[in-house]
Structure 1
Amino acid sequence: MAEIIARDGTWAFDGSTIRITPGLHRSVPLFRQTYGEISVPLEAVSGVVYAAERRRGRLRMRLREGADPLLQATGGRLPEPADPYRLAVDADRSGVAEYLTEEIRHALLIDGIPQEPTTGYLLPGPPVPVSVRSSDGTVSFDGNQVRIDWSDTSDRVKRATGPRIIGLGDLVQVEWLPNSGYGDGFLRFVTSETVLSKLPPERDPYTLDLWGSVRRDLLTALVATAVTARLPHPSTRADDSGAGRGRSRPAVPAQADLHDVLLRRLRELGELYRDGVLTDEEFARTKAVVLRGFS
């Protein structure tokens, strides 16, 4: 057993699995504490490096492409402190970090772990049900469907349409961008009907607009990962260009289907306008946005 205990967490390797446990120090991001312990099978690992620095070194694990739904969902956009595959190591623990690194590298060599992308997820992702309250509303996933309940500060059109429920079978993919504090982020649920939609996050009824607390909005990555883990693996979705394995593109709906979606959206807006939910100005502005989104 090779193990290193640091302020931000613990990494332990037993020869077949690296167990990553977040630390309890107040500096550990809420996302890491909430995501909890991660057990990484050796076959999911591409490599591990330790970079010694003057005061604190950096331990980093690289996973094979397609092995982890968390990395697939977040696309490498997790802030470094929230990345579970990075660990800051105090200088006096550098010897232990180097030993752990060599043990994992040796096991990878002995077991002949390939570097190629995986054909399925080797990590399970977060358990369900999972629910997160964000700046734009509360998003929940029970393993079968996504539900979005809008907040009082959500766009009026979003609130007027009521909770958004999306079946897992209707989803094509999940898109996630964190709220950086300098620019808004979003959590978008892409269906076959909305794959070409260009609606901005603040008006898209399939998207949470992340503009509030960076610390709390980051938790939406939990839902993004849980959903991604239960969608078809990227390797099963053909890429028409034949390049970039694992970087699939959603199927584009037929023109007739897009026309039906547009008519349905306009009909919903018309009903909200007739019921007095939308003012003349709001109806005209939202209608223009919808039409532009399908142009």
Structure 2
Amino acid sequence: MGEVLAGNHATWELESDALVIRFERGIRTPRLFQTLRERRVPYEALASVTLTPGRRGTVVLHAVPRPGADPLMTAAAGQLKETCDPYRLALPGDREALAAHWREELAALVPPGPADPEERCEGGFLVAPPQGPLSFKAYDGKAVFDGSSEVSFRWSSTGATSEKWKSGDRFYPVRELSGVEWRTPDAPGGCLRLLLRGAEVTAERPDHDPASVVFGLGYGAVHESLPFAAAVLAAVRGKERAPVPAGARGAAHGNPGVVAERIRHLGELHRAGLVTDEEFAAKKTQLLAEL
């Protein structure tokens, strides 16, 4: 054990119980790799190891993770470009013999898996979520995760739709979430959507859904939004799946400080002419009723 293999943008090291992947820091290294820095992958989190020809005369070692073993790859849901896949290591073609030796060494450490290689891991994730970032700027607001219990969306005065402004900043306890949907910012429709337990998505368009933040040019970059989604997903998976107690839903909004802030925000919308007198009165009454 302790063998180290250096490839493009990363090194692999075989330890007694895990494959340790350390990523380089440099202008040519994908920013996602720089954010991840290091990943410790228990051998039981791997399904197989492959060696295939790569681009421009390279060969690629691919430690294939088991479905559901890694929150990062679960959140990515197959949307990552091959060059940004942290489980792929490219080496010069003249090192193919060494790469083949590594494939055999690593494959021998992977324990026998289920008969169906697509069978998902049960229970918690086998790979720890990335350490950060736990906040990022989206086109229509800022997403913040406290690392364990709550996700908040604070809307932008310029990017958020009137529907989101009228709903006020949102606070979602992790215990009320069933999952996270991440759509890459590298394709149209990029967004991060929180999935609420026992609730259906009420707005197909993420710019109208208060449980979503929208990406855009320069907003919600992969190296920021994907580790965020993975961290939230890991927290959701780690929570007990007990029913939410009656009255617990919306408890964050029942906090006097939160309610006061939302009423202040509502007043700003009213003075700006974005809500009518009737809407202002009705919403204020609703907020006061949460206390």
**Shorter-chain TM-score: what band?**
0.7 to 0.9
Q: Distance in 1 between matches of 2:126 and 2:274?
A: 48
* Alignment partner, residue 159 of structure 1: 165
Task: Indicate if the aligned counterparts of 1:134 and 1:212 stay in contact, CA closer than 8 A.
Answer: no
User: Which of the residues 70, 73, 76 maps onto 2:75?
Assistant: 73
What RMSD over aligned residues (CA atoms) do the two structures have, in Å? 3.0
User: Which of the residues 104, 118, 123 maps onto 2:121?
Assistant: 118
Supply the AA of the counterpart residue of 1:131: S
**Alignment of structure 1 residues 85-124 onto 2, 5 Å:** 85-108=87-110, 111-114=111-114, 115=117, 116-120=119-123, 121-124=125-128
Supply the AA of the counterpart residue of 2:151: V
Task: Indicate if the aligned counterparts of 1:67 and 1:118 stay in contact, CA closer than 8 A.
Answer: yes
Task: Indicate if the aligned counterparts of 1:3 and 1:13 stay in contact, CA closer than 8 A.
Answer: yes
* Alignment partner, residue 169 of structure 1: 175
Q: Are the structure 2 counterparts of residues 88 and 128 from structure 1 closer, same or farther at C-alpha, using a change threshold of 3 Å? A: closer
Report the TM-score when normalising by structure 1. Answer: 0.73
Q: Are the structure 2 counterparts of residues 91 and 106 from structure 1 closer, same or farther at C-alpha, using a change threshold of 3 Å? A: same
- Asked if 1:4 corresponds to 2:11, the answer is no
State the Cα distance separating 1:3 from its structure 2 match: 2.2
State the Cα distance separating 1:214 from its structure 2 match: 6.9
State the Cα distance separating 1:279 from its structure 2 match: 6.3
Q: Distance in 2 between matches of 1:144 and 1:279?
A: 32
State the Cα distance separating 1:20 from its structure 2 match: 0.8
* Alignment partner, residue 234 of structure 2: 229
* Alignment partner, residue 38 of structure 1: 39
State the Cα distance separating 1:207 from its structure 2 match: 0.5
Matched residue of 2:193: which SS? strand
Deviations 1:212-248 (A, max 9, x none): 2278255211111001112237xx98xxxxxxxxxxx
User: Which of the residues 192, 211, 221 maps onto 2:197?
Assistant: 192
* Alignment partner, residue 260 of structure 1: none
User: Which of the residues 142, 145, 148 maps onto 2:150?
Assistant: 145
* Alignment partner, residue 246 of structure 1: none
* Alignment partner, residue 225 of structure 2: 220
Count matched residues. Answer: 247
Q: Distance in 1 between matches of 2:227 and 2:134?
A: 8
State the Cα distance separating 1:209 from its structure 2 match: 0.8
Q: Distance in 2 between matches of 1:173 and 1:220?
A: 15
Task: Indicate if the aligned counterparts of 2:36 and 2:131 stay in contact, CA closer than 8 A.
Answer: no
Range that drifts further, 165-174 or 13-22: 13-22
Task: Indicate if the aligned counterparts of 1:177 and 1:186 stay in contact, CA closer than 8 A.
Answer: yes
* Alignment partner, residue 60 of structure 2: 58
Supply the AA of the counterpart residue of 2:274: L
Identity %: 28
Supply the AA of the counterpart residue of 1:42: Y
* Alignment partner, residue 134 of structure 1: 138
State the Cα distance separating 1:90 from its structure 2 match: 1.6
Supply the AA of the counterpart residue of 2:228: V
Report the TM-score when normalising by structure 2. Answer: 0.74
Task: Indicate if the aligned counterparts of 1:3 and 1:100 stay in contact, CA closer than 8 A.
Answer: no
Matched residue of 2:47: which SS? strand
